[in-house]
Amino acid sequence: MDQLPLADRAYDVLMVEFMSGALRPGDRLKIDTVARKLGISHTPVREALVRLEQTGFVERQARRGYVVARLLDSSEMAQLMDARLAMEPAMAALAATRGDENFLGSLRSTIETMNRADDTPGGEALIGCWLADEAFHTLIAERSGNRFMAQAYRSLGGQLQRFRIISGAGVSHARAASQEHQRIFAAIAGGSGEDARAGMVTHLENARARALADLERAAVRLDAQEDGRPHG
Condensed to tens digits (0 to 9), the pLDDT of residues 201-216 reads 999 999 999 999 888 8
What are the residue ranges spanned by the domains of the chain? Answer: 3-68, 74-226
The domain made up of 74-226 has a fold known as Four Helix Bundle (Hemerythrin (Met), subunit A) (1.20.120)
The total of other beta-carbon atoms located within 10 Å of residue 122's CB is 13
pLDDT in tens, 124-172: 777 788 889 999 999 999 999 999 999 899 888 788 888 887 776 667 8
Cβ-in-10-Å burial (0-12, 13-18, 19+) of 126 comes to buried
So what CATH class is 3-68? mainly alpha
Q: What is the mean pLDDT of the chain?
A: 87
Close Cβ partners of 153 (under 8 Å, ≥ 6 residues apart): 84, 87, 88, 91, 137, 138, 141
Could you give the CA distance from residue 210 to residue 193 in angstroms, rounded to a whole number?
Answer: 26
Q: What is the pLDDT of residues 213-226, one digit of tens each?
A: 888 877 666 555 55
Q: Which has the higher per-residue pLDDT, 33 or 171?
A: 33
pLDDT band at 2 (very low <50, low <70, confident <90, very high): very low
What is residue 57's predicted lDDT score, i.e. its pLDDT? Answer: 87
